Structures are given as structure tokens and as C-alpha cells.
Amino acid sequence: MRAAVQRVSEASVVVEGSVCGRIEKGLLVYLGVERDDAESDAAYIAEKVRHVRIFPDGAGRMNLDVAQVCGKVLVVSAFTLHGDARRGRRPSFEAAADPDRAIILYEMVCDALAGGGVHVERGRFGALMDVRSTNAGPICILLESRRKF
């Protein structure tokens, strides 16, 4: 499982002209589920997102997590995080989980974050989404449950 985590001052998801998720200060998380991912991968990513310290403390150092700054999390499904463009010009997405499995693990991550005391907004799984955000920093962290990077 992969997550691209952005520290944002605001973010929203629009589907067919309607906002389906919106946050102010917090984290925008693009989440990609891999074919062989399990519940343990979802738990790992949720724990990392919840506790990653990328918000500034009083001294301006990145030392606080999203809950400590009363931030929110917007989670957007993004199978393209598992795109492999090493061969040719068109990326392959064969490593991405099938939608029926991916939605279960996507929801597990969202539920685990909410259970960890963070307000969670969601994109619409499988929809064509317009994601709008203002990256604060810019700060963008990549997480991988299998620790490949």
C-alpha cells in the first residue's frame, strides 16, 4: 500500500460538480492499494499517516502530527500510485488491487484514522474526481507499507 501525504492549508474533492469532501488545515492523502495488500498494510499506513510529524511546533520545526494541530485528513483513492512506467511510455497498473478488494482496504484506512481521533473526509472511491489543494510548505511525504522506499 502506498500513500502520498501532503500537508495542506485546504483541500477538497469535487465529483460531478458537487463537493464530496473538504478540509482546511490537515493532510491530503492519496492512497493506492496493491494487489497483495492485507489488513496489516492498511493498519500500518493509517498509523503512519496519523502520527507523521510534519506540522511545525512553536520553534518552526516539523515536530507535530495532524491531531496535535487539530487538523483533518482527506483520503482520496488513487490506484495510479502503483503505476509502473519503467517500460515503454504507457504505465502499467497491474500491481494495483482490483476495485472490490481495494475499496475494503481503503475504508479500513479511513476507519482506522477516524478511530485514532482524527476527523476524516473521503473522496468518492472509483469516481473521476477533481482534487483541489493548497500544499503548505510544500510538504509531500511518500509512505509504503512494505518499506520499499
Q: Are 14 and 132 in contact (CB under 8 A)?
A: yes
CATH superfamily of 2-144: D-tyrosyl-tRNA(Tyr) deacylase (3.50.80.10)
Indicate the domain borders of the chain: 2-144
- Which pTM was predicted? 0.96
Q: Are 77 and 31 in contact (CB under 8 A)?
A: yes
Q: What is the rounded distance in angstroms from the CA atom of residue 67 to the CA atom of residue 112?
A: 14
Q: What is the pLDDT of residues 105-124, one digit of tens each?
A: 999 999 999 999 999 999 99
What does DSSP say about strands 26-32 and 55-56: parallel, antiparallel, or unpaired?
A: unpaired
Tell me what the mean pLDDT of segment 15-36 comes to.
97
Reduced to 3 states (helix: H, G, I; strand: E, B; else coil), residue 147 is coil
Asked whether the predicted pLDDT for residue 149 surpasses 80, the reply is: no
Q: What is the rounded distance in angstroms from the CA atom of residue 9 to the CA atom of residue 120?
A: 15
